[in-house]
Amino acid sequence: MPRLTKDQAQETLRRIGGNGIFIPDFHTLPSEQVAQVLWEADLVKYRKPQTANGSRARYFYEYLARTARKEG
């Protein structure tokens, strides 16, 4: 999976239902948005780490959040 840019991550978060800048906690998302997170993860062929201690949706959402918050 190629790395997403800051702009791509923010746009993906907007499609999920946020504004791309304010990023709510994953556990507060309604099930429709979690389904959208998984759909977006499928588009970029995201796979969670083998040692992951949580869902693929949560890991992808956190990846998007970290990337969207990056400086520069």
- End-to-end alpha-carbon separation of the chain, Å? 22
Look at residue 10 and give its three-state secondary structure: helix
Q: What is the DSSP letter of 72?
A: -
How confident is the model at residue 21, as a pLDDT? Answer: 65
* Spatial distance between the Cα atoms of 34 and 46, rounded to a whole number of angstroms: 15
Mean pLDDT by 10 residues, the chain (72 residues): 87 83 86 95 93 94 92 70
> What would the DSSP string read from start to end of 35-69?
HHHHHHHHHTT----TT-SS-HHHHHHHHHHHHHH
